[in-house]
A and B are shown apart, each in its own frame.
Chain A
Amino acid sequence: MTDLTSQPTSAPAGLPRRAFLRVAGASAASVGLVLAGCDSTDPLPVVPVNPNLLTLGAGETGLLNYLYLLEQLEAAFYQKVVDAPPADLLPADKAFFADLRDHEVVHRESIRFALAANAYDANRTTPLAFNFSTLTLTTARGCWPRRSSSKTWAWRPTPERCAW
């Protein structure tokens, strides 16, 4: 195995591990993942037989597929809110979600373009579906991040909610 400690400028060894943990957490609601990007020196993995396993690939492809998956998740979330906005969502907030959806779609499509045939879902007939059923998206409060404490948020008021 390569001695990474003697090569401080080589590929960041810690990132894939974090990436793995975060992707694994994000996927818990719907799918299991095989993440082969944990070590760039690993050989390309065998395509899994289980249709519920995703292969992100190794090295740069693996990282891009990881980012692609995250962008898909973000775009899907904002699209869900835009498709069925809560009744109490303010007009400005709706505009925010539409803009954010647009941005994430652009990011998603840009990364997919870069990946081309290497996209993890290039051969899937239907795109991956995300499960947001654990979230309360029928109220504006459910769509925006919760305020953990008033002090924390005092200098970062929720958009368009200033009292003045």
Chain B
Amino acid sequence: MDLLKIFSEIEKIDGEVYERFDTRRRVFRHMAGLGKTITAATMPVMLGAMFNKAYGQTTGLSADIKNTLNLALQLEYLEYYYYDAGLKTPGLIPTADVPAVTIMRDDELGHINALKSVLGADAFPDPTVAAFDYTASNRLAPFAAAAGYYATAQSLEDTGVRAYKGGAPKLMANKDILTAALNIHSVEARHSAHIRMVRRTLAGSTNGGDIAGGANNQNPKSWVSLRENGGPVPAVTAPIYGPGTTTDFPGEDNVTQATVNVQNTTTYPTVPGVTLTDALKAAAVAEAFDEPLDDLTVKAIVRNFRSAIGVGKGLFV
């Protein structure tokens, strides 16, 4: 899921990473073409082939690269075990949506297998589901009812989408990698849109969602709206929609793009029966642009989901 972040982290350690990949451009052309339809079956083959071709053999990876890939691997385990635990909880996931959750889980498994194939014997050992605390220290209730389950799923997906976007500028030196990463990035955003639709359906919503998800973010739009009222459980989820550690990473309610306040550049259409207030304009402008998030903030968010066992195993350090 954090493939883009992997590349950007590797770049810090191995400045020649793009040259390595660039000499094997065919691999990336293949990858770019697959981007829209990446499946659990194709992903491990693709990623494994890519790194093996770039570095020859896994034993050639430096310790720093291994550490970077292992962090990504831990994030994949977090997500895989979340979807897997949901599917193994009888009656939790609505029957009609079991196929969708199964696909998302299998996607994560594909990512795990891909990273393991690259790391070989150096891969972070499977931490098992016991390493994770999806209640975030009893602040979330993901397995009691579907509403809570999808609320946390949305939180994980939205975190991933912002993490991908945060790494994009670091990938601009290699358009093949950037293209491949952005192809995956948009798929993650579609996952989030699906989950948001399911949350509205579970809530009996018929209005397509409220600005910022309405009260307690229980009626989210299919796209990120302002700061989502802090998400389903603000004590845990507010940072997902807030700013990062620098001004390069504003919160999702940001209305300034390329130093320009977009509200002032936009000619709004007239809406019959609707008085277009400044608040509505701000929401429309904020929704029209997503925002990136830095890796430090991303790691701080996911550390909420470690159990004591996970801490002991060194997850997300």
Contact = CB atoms under 8 A, between A and B. Distances in A.
Interface of A: 8-9, 12, 79, 82, 90-96, 98-99, 101-103, 105-107, 109-110, 112-114, 154-157, 159-160, 162-164
Contacts of A162: 94, 96-97, 197-198, 201
Question: What 6 pairs across the A-B complex have the smallest Cβ distances?
Answer: A95-B208, A155-B100, A92-B208, A106-B288, A113-B265, A102-B284
A103 B208 contact: no
Interface in B228-285: 257-258, 260, 262, 265-269, 271, 284-285
B257 A110 contact: yes
Given A95-B207, A164-B96, A103 B175 contact: no
B284 A79 contact: no
B208 A99 contact: yes
A160 B204 CA distance: 10
B216 interface: no
B267 A164 contact: no
Contact of B99 (A79, A106, A154): A154
Chain A CB within 10 A, most for which of B205, B268, B284: B284
A164 B206 CA distance: 13
B175 A163 contact: no
Given A9-B173, A102-B288, A159 B208 contact: yes
B268 A105 contact: yes
A102 B208 contact: no
B287 A160 contact: no
B197 A157 contact: yes
A30 to B, nearest CB: 21
Contacts of A164: 94-97, 201
A93 B173 CA distance: 40
B266 A163 contact: no
Contacts of B96: 157, 162-164
B243 to A, nearest CB: 21
Contacts of A12: 175
A102 B197 CA distance: 19
Contacts of B288: 102-103, 106-107, 110
Given A92-B208, A96-B208, A159 B285 contact: no
Contacts of A8: 22, 25, 174
B200 interface: yes
Contacts of B271: 82, 98
Contact of A92 (B174, B206, B284): B206
